[in-house]
């Protein structure tokens, strides 16, 4: 039962993704043919339609339909399985509405309808992805274009006639590169240089401070306070130490040594120093069973 | 008979002889010089020999459209060139550098890290000059990075900022890296006194394994948070070092610092060389780039040495630094550190500066990667 559900979920997810990709396409510009218009491979100047990929991924429009007739959405199909129908992120493709689709992949079997609408239809032949209305009175040498008020969001809500810009992003909102902006704001380069030098020094200065501190800690020049250790010893060890000190101060010299020996045995490999009046217990928490240095890390040598 | 003659004529038109120009011959001669320097003088042979032969490969005159040139989509050379073009060879080289480099010198004397920062002035000096020469800011940034004396970083940044200039920039960077002993020594002698060259520095302390393991993690976090755009280079550098120092990934470290870096170095050298086709390389811009590259090396060395001299004014006599290690702030590892050692021993045969010089040297690698990240962030 689970397998079909998973399969269907995956299928719908894939279909959703696929559909979402096609929905990123728009008809961004169209222009009736004129002598000043784009020339095709045959040297003609047919009507043309520009399709723009608004997404950040590559989208293939092979198999999709273009039509000028709302009642016939499958009027002209773009060739399937043609790699050239893949549009890169934020890239465009140009289709010629020459009235003869036999001329090539990018040719349509209709011309631009003056006063009509062009539809881009998904490859299911039913879903209209986008449309563009062609004004009846489009000035000579002008195209009808969609503009994005915000190139980051890619919302093309501004449609009007403009100077044709085939195969390029429409509009006044040409995005300047950072280098171009830098050329305007810092033509001599001093600001960038000063900032960059400061950042490089800061980065290495921070590293210096960190490693200086860690070096001091590792070499013992700086000791981290161990709050837990600074607390008075508790439990049987504390009681034993207290007993040993009491015995020592009362003149029974052999008792502290016996207690220290007992503690030494109790703590495994613990030892005590010979400083009079103090007993230092060094606890080794590791057991020989867990100590990897005693078994796993041993190198084996061939004899 | 006439058909045979036509075929021979057609064959002749496809040969290199028919398509040869003086520019091709000039570039082949340059390639031969690179190979000669690499083999006879042993100046960076692992770089100059592949680059030199790559230059010859890239400048064999050929009939265009045969889909074999480095700039022709889908050709074998073009496929290999994608590692340079898309900038994924340099981070792999950084992985290998990290896996080979012992940062103990730096960890034991972290104050020397600042010399590595001072020597990065060469990058920004060259950037300012390139702008004055009329280059666009992105091109100037790509040219400036030559001053970092770090071939992979130069390729990485130029592939992002100015792909058209990448061939000239890469060849320039590697050429001057090979010439580090020739360029740096006179500047070091000029800027230091005999007394300064005799300064003996205290022996660096031993560094524990724990410190070595912590170094790449902390180092990466600090630098990557400050300059995230340097992530590909910094990430791979510190990752490679962690593989080396962790002690439990010896096989990975050996591969990264051995076969992997060898393969990538071979491919990067060959394809960078092949990308210097005469029509793209023999231009006025290339000459300007070579001039700016030389100036950037001079500025970097000068700033490193002067920085130490100025710093010494504020240090106690027993903590003074030999200014001969100032040149090692550029990231030509370990060539510039070797220059410090050689010049230092000429002044005092018992004064070994190599270990001290390695500290600013590896700091220079980090510094140039940070600088590249900044330039990419501002201009990319």
- For CA atoms A158, A164, A167, A170, give the dihedral sign: negative
Tell me whether A71 touches chain B (CB under 8 Å).
no
Closest Cβ–Cβ partner in B136, B137, B226 for A202: B226
Please indicate whether, in this complex, the C-beta atoms of B128 and A205 are within 8 angstroms of each other.
no
A25-31 sheet: strands from edge to edge: A92-97, A47-53, A25-31, A143-148, A156-162
Tell me whether B366 touches chain A (CB under 8 Å).
yes
B176 or A263, greater pLDDT: B176
DSSP class per residue in B226-247:
H-GGGHHHHHHHHHHHHHHHHS
Q: State residue B18's pLDDT score.
A: 83
Statement: residue B69 has pLDDT above 80? yes
Grade residue A19 by pLDDT with cuts at 50, 70 and 90. Answer: very low
Q: State residue A256's pLDDT score.
A: 65
Name the A residues in 123-182 with CB < 8 Å from any B CB. 177-180, 182
Q: State residue A267's pLDDT score.
A: 61
Q: State residue B96's pLDDT score.
A: 95
Q: State residue B306's pLDDT score.
A: 96
Query: A212: nearest CA in chain B?
Result: B110
- Residues of A within 8 A of B209 (CB-CB) are none
Q: State residue A277's pLDDT score.
A: 57
Tell me whether A214 touches chain B (CB under 8 Å).
yes
Tell me whether A207 touches chain B (CB under 8 Å).
yes
Statement: residue A5 has pLDDT above 80? no
Whether residue B169 contacts residue B147, with contact meaning beta carbons closer than 8 Å, is answered with: no
Whether residue B208 contacts residue A218, with contact meaning beta carbons closer than 8 Å, is answered with: yes
Q: State residue A7's pLDDT score.
A: 57
Query: B125: nearest CA in chain A?
Result: A193
Q: Is B80 exposed, middle or buried (0-12, 13-18, 19+ CB in 10 A)?
A: middle
Q: Which of A111-115, A151-155, B9-13, B273-277 has the lowest mean pLDDT?
A: A151-155
Tell me whether B131 touches chain A (CB under 8 Å).
yes
- Residues of A within 8 A of B222 (CB-CB) are 203, 206-207, 210
Encoding tokens for residue A252?
A: 């029974």
Q: Which of A105-119, B109-123, B238-252 has the lowest mean pLDDT?
A: A105-119
Tell me whether A8 touches chain B (CB under 8 Å).
no
Please indicate whether, in this complex, the C-beta atoms of A208 and B138 are within 8 angstroms of each other.
no
Closest Cβ–Cβ partner in B107, B223, B375 for A203: B223
Statement: residue A268 has pLDDT above 70? no
Prediction ipTM score: 0.87
- The alpha carbon of residue A276 is apart from the nearest alpha carbon of chain B, in Å, by 34
End-to-end Cα spacing for chain B: 60
Name the B residues in 73-92 with CB < 8 Å from any A CB. none
Tell me whether A15 touches chain B (CB under 8 Å).
no
Q: State residue A15's pLDDT score.
A: 47
Q: State residue B239's pLDDT score.
A: 96
Grade residue A230 by pLDDT with cuts at 50, 70 and 90. Answer: very low
Statement: residue B139 has pLDDT above 80? yes
Tell me whether B117 touches chain A (CB under 8 Å).
yes
Compute the distance between CA of residue B322 and CA of residue B318 in angstroms, rounded to an integer.
11
Which of A208-217, A249-258, B180-189, B279-288 is modeled with the greatest confidence? B180-189
For B205-250, the pLDDT digits (tens) are: 888 888 899 999 999 999 899 888 889 999 999 999 999 999 899 9
* Mean pLDDT computed over B340-353: 91
A65-67 sheet: strands from edge to edge: A76-77, A65-67, A117-121, A128-133
* Mean pLDDT computed over B265-279: 90
B253 or A178, greater pLDDT: B253
Q: State residue A57's pLDDT score.
A: 78
Q: State residue A85's pLDDT score.
A: 81
Statement: residue B328 has pLDDT above 60? yes
- The alpha carbon of residue A216 is apart from the nearest alpha carbon of chain B, in Å, by 10
Q: State residue B39's pLDDT score.
A: 94
Statement: residue A297 has pLDDT above 90? no
Tell me whether A200 touches chain B (CB under 8 Å).
yes
Statement: residue A25 has pLDDT above 90? no
Tell me whether A188 touches chain B (CB under 8 Å).
yes
* Mean pLDDT computed over A66-88: 84
Compute the distance between CA of residue A7 and CA of residue A27 in angstroms, rounded to an integer.
34
Q: State residue A4's pLDDT score.
A: 60
Residue recorded with tokens 């890290």:
B113
For B80-89, the pLDDT digits (tens) are: 999 988 889 9
Statement: residue A299 has pLDDT above 80? no
* Mean pLDDT computed over A26-52: 82
- Residues of A within 8 A of B114 (CB-CB) are 201, 204-205, 208
* Mean pLDDT computed over B262-291: 90
Please indicate whether, in this complex, the C-beta atoms of B379 and A179 are within 8 angstroms of each other.
yes
Compute the distance between CA of residue B345 and CA of residue B339 in angstroms, rounded to an integer.
10
Q: State residue A163's pLDDT score.
A: 77
Q: State residue A36's pLDDT score.
A: 67
pTM above 0.80, yes or no: no
The backbone torsions φ and ψ at residue A65, rounded to the nearest 5 degrees and listed phi first, read -120, 150
Q: Which of A191-200, A235-244, B144-153, B347-356 has the lowest mean pLDDT?
A: A235-244
* Mean pLDDT computed over A131-155: 77
- Residues of A within 8 A of B121 (CB-CB) are 197
Tell me whether B140 touches chain A (CB under 8 Å).
yes
Please indicate whether, in this complex, the C-beta atoms of A178 and B226 are within 8 angstroms of each other.
no
A129 or A81, greater pLDDT: A129
Query: A183: nearest CA in chain B?
Result: B137
Compute the distance between CA of residue B346 and CA of residue B352 in angstroms, rounded to an integer.
10
Is residue A144 helix, strand or coil? strand
The backbone torsions φ and ψ at residue B146, rounded to the nearest 5 degrees and listed phi first, read -55, -35
Q: State residue B145's pLDDT score.
A: 93
Please indicate whether, in this complex, the C-beta atoms of A199 and B107 are within 8 angstroms of each other.
no
How many Cβ contacts (< 8 angstroms) between chains A and B?
Answer: 114
Closest Cβ–Cβ partner in A199, A204, A215 for B107: A215
Q: State residue A14's pLDDT score.
A: 46
Statement: residue B79 has pLDDT above 50? yes
Which of A281-285, B68-72, B343-347 is modeled with the greatest confidence? B343-347
Q: Which helix (H) or strand (E) holds A277?
A: none
Q: Which of A178-187, A204-213, B316-325, B351-360 has the lowest mean pLDDT?
A: A178-187
Name the B residues in 219-248 with CB < 8 Å from any A CB. 219, 222-223, 226-227
For B160-205, the pLDDT digits (tens) are: 899 888 888 988 998 888 889 889 999 999 999 999 999 999 888 8
Q: State residue A228's pLDDT score.
A: 52
- The alpha carbon of residue A299 is apart from the nearest alpha carbon of chain B, in Å, by 13
A121 or A276, greater pLDDT: A121
The answer for residues whose C-beta is within 8 angstroms of residue B89's C-beta and 6 or more apart is B83, B152, B155, B264, B267, B268
* Mean pLDDT computed over A168-189: 76
Please indicate whether, in this complex, the C-beta atoms of B222 and A193 are within 8 angstroms of each other.
no
Compute the distance between CA of residue A47 and CA of residue B136 in angstroms, rounded to an integer.
39
């Amino acid at each position: 039962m689970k397998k079909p559900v998973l399969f269907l979920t995956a299928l719908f997810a894939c279909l959703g993704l696929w559909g979402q990709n096609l929905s990123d396409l728009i008809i961004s510009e169209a222009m009736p043919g004129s002598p000043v218009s784009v020339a095709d491979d045959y040297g003609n100047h047919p009507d043309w339609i520009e399709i723009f990929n608004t997404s950040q991924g590559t989208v293939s429009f092979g198999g999709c339909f273009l039509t000028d007739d709302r009642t016939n959405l499958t009027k002209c199909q773009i060739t399937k399985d043609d790699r050239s129908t893949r549009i890169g992120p934020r890239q465009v493709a140009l289709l010629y509405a020459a009235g003869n689709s036999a001329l090539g992949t990018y040719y349509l079997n209709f011309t631009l309808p003056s006063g009509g609408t062009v539809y881009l239809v998904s490859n299911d032949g039913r879903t209209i992805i986008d449309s563009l209305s062609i004004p009846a009175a489009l000035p000579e040498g002008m195209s009808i274009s969609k503009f994005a008020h915000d190139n980051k969001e890619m919302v093309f809500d501004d449609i009007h006639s403009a100077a044709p810009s085939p195969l390029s992003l429409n509009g006044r909102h040409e995005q300047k590169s950072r280098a171009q902006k830098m050329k305007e704001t810092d033509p001599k380069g001093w600001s960038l240089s000063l900032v960059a030098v400061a950042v490089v020094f800061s980065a290495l200065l921070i590293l210096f401070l960190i490693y200086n501190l860690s070096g001091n800690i590792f070499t013992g020049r700086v000791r981290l306070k161990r709050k837990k250790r600074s607390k008075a010893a508790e439990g049987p060890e504390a009681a034993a130490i207290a007993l040993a000190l009491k015995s020592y101060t009362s003149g029974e010299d052999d008792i502290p040594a016996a207690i220290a020996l007992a503690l030494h045995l109790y703590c495994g490999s613990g030892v005590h120093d010979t400083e009079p009046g103090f007993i230092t217990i060094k606890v080794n928490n590791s057991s020989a069973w867990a100590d990897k240095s005693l078994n796993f890390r041993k190198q084996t040598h061939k004899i | 008979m006439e058909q045979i003659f036509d075929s021979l004529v057609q064959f002749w038109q496809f040969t290199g002889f028919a398509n040869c120009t003086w520019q091709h011959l000039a570039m082949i001669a340059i390639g031969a010089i690179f190979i000669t320097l690499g083999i006879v003088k042993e100046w960076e042979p692992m770089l100059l020999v592949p680059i030199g032969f790559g230059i010859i490969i890239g400048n064999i005159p050929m009939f265009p459209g045969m889909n074999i040139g480095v700039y022709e989509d889908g050709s074998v050379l073009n496929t290999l060139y994608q590692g340079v073009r898309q900038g994924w060879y340099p981070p792999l080289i950084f992985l290998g550098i990290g896996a080979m480099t012992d940062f103990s010198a730096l960890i034991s004397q972290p104050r020397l890290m600042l010399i590595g920062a001072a020597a990065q002035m060469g990058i920004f000096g060259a950037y300012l000059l390139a702008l004055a020469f009329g280059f666009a800011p992105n091109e100037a940034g790509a040219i400036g990075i030559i001053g970092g004396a770090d071939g992979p970083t130069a390729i990485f940044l130029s592939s992002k900022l100015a792909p058209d200039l990448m061939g000239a920039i890469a060849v320039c960077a590697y050429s001057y890296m090979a010439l580090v002993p020739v360029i740096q020594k006179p500047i070091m002698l000029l800027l230091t006194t005999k007394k300064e060259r005799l300064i003996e520095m205290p022996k660096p302390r031993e560094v524990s394994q724990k410190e070595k393991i912590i170094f790449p993690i902390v180092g990466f976090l600090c630098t990557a948070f400050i300059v995230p755009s340097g992530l590909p280079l910094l990430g791979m550098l510190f990752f490679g070092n962690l593989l080396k120092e962790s002690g439990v990934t010896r096989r990975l470290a050996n591969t990264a610092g051995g076969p992997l870096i060898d393969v990538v170095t071979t491919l990067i050298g060959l394809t960078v060389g092949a990308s210097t086709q005469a029509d793209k390389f023999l231009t006025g811009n290339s000459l300007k780039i070579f001039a700016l590259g030389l100036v950037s090396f001079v500025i970097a060395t000068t700033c490193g040495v002067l920085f130490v001299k100025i710093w010494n004014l504020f240090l106690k006599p027993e903590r003074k630094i030999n200014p001969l290690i100032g040149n090692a702030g550029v990231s030509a590892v370990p060539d510039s550190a070797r220059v410090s050692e050689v010049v230092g021993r000429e002044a005092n045969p018992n004064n070994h500066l190599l270990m001290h010089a390695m500290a600013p040297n590896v700091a220079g690698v980090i510094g140039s990667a940070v600088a590249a990240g900044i330039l990419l962030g501002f201009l990319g």
